[in-house]
Amino acid sequence: MSGGPLPDGWWLPPSFRPGPPPGGLVEPGWIEALVAHLRRAGETLRRTTTVDARIAALDAAAEHWLQRLGGEEPLVDVIAADTGLSPAMVRRCIEAEQTSSRGPDLAATLDAELGDRRALDGFQPQRRLRRQLRAVPPGLVLAVLPGNIPGLSHLPILRSLLLGSPVLAKAASGEPRYAAAYVASLAAFMPELAEAVAVVRWPRGADDVESRLAGLADAAIVFGRSETIAAWGARVPRDRPFVAHGHRVGLQLVDGAWVGRRRRVFDELALDVAMYDQAACLAPQRMLVRGSEAEAERVGRALAAALDRLHGRLPLGAGTLADVATRRRYRDELEWGEPAEARILADGPWGMVVLDRRRPWRPTCGRRTIAISAVPDWPSALAALADWRPWLQNAALAVPADDRRPLAEALAELGCTRICPPGAMPFPSMRWHHDGLPTLSAMVRYCDVEGAAETPLRGDWLNGGRSGG
């Protein structure tokens, strides 16, 4: 009833005997068998490895990928063909993701979120809180992987394995290959990790499979469109952790006078726009320039020049047909519209810069297209940004030092979850509270060993000492 070669982009635990389903057609019964296998693999993973050992293995895998990218890597061209990104951009994407996945960052993030990462291995004393704490990871994580950024699909897998949880991942149709390649690479450093992961695909609308899986998982990490997140949110039982990363949008706040003609700053702003060809939630879609219309136009032209320069070493990809069609639609909206309201300031094979007076502010079509609007002052601009609250994520500040703190405070209130200098927008660290969430601690269940409120535990009660104060 099963067998055959593994479909492209799939990874199954090497010892999962049924192998892939015939024709790659996933059915609820097969999913149940896979889930049972993964749960057992997760138990083995937690029993035989420590969190520090897993961190070391994941760090070694990151190092492996960074070295692999230094040479010929056929996967890069395959992913470039799938995604419409240039091979140089695919390399840069994977490099960025693996650079943020190094051991010290993983350890620091776990410690920041859990207090002590070793709570994943067993009860750990927290003396100041007079308790012992255990963090129990999910017995199985369901992950719906992102497909917009090559390399990012490793993140939900890495988060799960870091905690010691097995993961059943659904690969994205937009970029279906990297996740399986990443898991395959883990086998060399810690086979137990690769044994605890499955990466599979099934067609949209396979309700029976998705409902069954949602009921079987102890936690879910879902990347995707709003409809995708809503659909999974409705399936996953309410008592299970559900970490969702949906559509988001970024922006750049630039003080026209401060930025002046600093070429380096424009190069950094251009990198923010260009990275991932703007398909990432991290990417800015709009630049607000404090100053006159003329100032905004000058900034726009300098940015266009910087984007053109960047295109030489990090080319804009050909894009998928849907990407290019979306750009056509946006371009038509501008060209058939009223030029006094919005006009294309500059465009080329490197992208497009638009001077846009229209309100409300809207995102652009991506593909390195940024809309620039002049704003007379920050308070009025921030008031207008209230419309962006459901989506606002990442903001770069190219403003005088004295303006940074008040702007950051206001942006945080508006819903922004990451603020950074120009050039840092595409490169968040693992420590970032992604979309404002503690993404690791949100997945675990805590167990505290403590005494009564008035008689806290003292000493080593858990190890046989007496209780009470």
Stretch that binds another protein, among 69-77, 279-287, 299-307, 451-459 (CB under 8 A): 279-287
Complete edge-to-edge strand list for the sheet that includes strand 351-356? 284-290, 369-375, 351-356, 342-348
> Position 111: which residue type?
D
CA–CA dist 431, 445 (Å, integer): 20
Coil, helix or strand for 285? strand
Told to check if 147 binds another protein by CB under 8 A, we report: yes
Nearest one of 248, 234, 222 to 146, comparing CA atoms: 222
Told to check if 335 binds another protein by CB under 8 A, we report: yes
Told to check if 324 binds another protein by CB under 8 A, we report: yes
Residues 6+ apart with CB under 8 A from 210: 202, 231, 232, 235
Please check whether residue 136 is in contact with residue 147, taking contact to mean a CB–CB distance below 8 angstroms: no
Stretch that binds another protein, among 101-109, 131-139, 214-222, 242-250 (CB under 8 A): 242-250
Nearest one of 214, 195, 201 to 37, comparing CA atoms: 195
Told to check if 179 binds another protein by CB under 8 A, we report: no
- CB count, 10 Å around CB of 53? 15
Find the shortest distance in angstroms from Cβ 128 to another protein.
39
Told to check if 248 binds another protein by CB under 8 A, we report: yes
Told to check if 332 binds another protein by CB under 8 A, we report: yes
C-alpha dist (Å) from residue 296 to 251, 253, 345, 353, 421 = 15, 11, 11, 11, 19
Stretch that binds another protein, among 7-15, 154-162, 219-227, 294-302 (CB under 8 A): 219-227
Told to check if 151 binds another protein by CB under 8 A, we report: no
Nearest one of 322, 374, 375, 12 to 167, comparing CA atoms: 12
Told to check if 433 binds another protein by CB under 8 A, we report: no
Find the shortest distance in angstroms from Cβ 3 to another protein.
24
> Position 189: which residue type?
F
Find the shortest distance in angstroms from Cβ 394 to another protein.
10
C-alpha dist (Å) from residue 257 to 296, 398, 400 = 10, 10, 9
Residue 330 vs 378, nearer CB to another protein: 330
Please check whether residue 293 is in contact with residue 378, taking contact to mean a CB–CB distance below 8 angstroms: no
From residue 387 to residue 426, the character string flagging contacts with another protein as x (rule: CB under 8 A) and all else as - is x--xx-----------------------------------
Told to check if 226 binds another protein by CB under 8 A, we report: yes
By CB under 8 A, name the one of 84, 164, 176, 423 that touches another protein. 84
Stretch that binds another protein, among 103-111, 211-219, 222-230, 370-378 (CB under 8 A): 222-230
Peptide bond connecting 203 to the previous residue in cis, omega within 30 degrees of 0? no
Complete edge-to-edge strand list for the sheet that includes strand 242-245? 197-200, 167-170, 141-144, 219-223, 242-245
The residue count for binding another protein (CB under 8 A) is 52
By CB under 8 A, name the one of 71, 205, 312, 464 that touches another protein. 205
Find the shortest distance in angstroms from Cβ 314 to another protein.
17
By CB under 8 A, name the one of 107, 133, 365, 430 that touches another protein. 365
Told to check if 333 binds another protein by CB under 8 A, we report: yes
Stretch that binds another protein, among 52-60, 114-122, 257-265, 315-323 (CB under 8 A): 315-323
Please check whether residue 269 is in contact with residue 306, taking contact to mean a CB–CB distance below 8 angstroms: yes
By CB under 8 A, name the one of 102, 240, 247, 309 that touches another protein. 247
Please check whether residue 348 is in contact with residue 310, taking contact to mean a CB–CB distance below 8 angstroms: no
Residue 230 vs 442, nearer CB to another protein: 230
Find the shortest distance in angstroms from Cβ 332 to another protein.
4
Please check whether residue 287 is in contact with residue 303, taking contact to mean a CB–CB distance below 8 angstroms: yes
By CB under 8 A, name the one of 39, 92, 170, 327 that touches another protein. 327
Told to check if 340 binds another protein by CB under 8 A, we report: no
By CB under 8 A, name the one of 134, 358, 404, 433 that touches another protein. 358
Answer positive or negative: Cα dihedral of 256, 260, 266, 269: negative
By CB under 8 A, name the one of 321, 340, 401, 453 that touches another protein. 321
Coil, helix or strand for 191? helix
Told to check if 148 binds another protein by CB under 8 A, we report: yes
Stretch that binds another protein, among 14-22, 212-220, 263-271, 358-366 (CB under 8 A): 358-366
**DSSP-assigned letters across all residues of 95-146:** HHHHHTT-HHHHHHHHHHHHSSGGGGTS-EEEGGGTEEEEEEPPS-EEEE--
By CB under 8 A, name the one of 17, 130, 263, 328 that touches another protein. 328
> Position 45: which residue type?
L
Question: Can you give the binding site for another protein, defined by CB under 8 A?
Answer: 83-84, 146-148, 174, 203-205, 207, 223-227, 245-250, 278-281, 283, 285, 320-330, 332-333, 335-336, 358, 360, 362-366, 387, 390-391
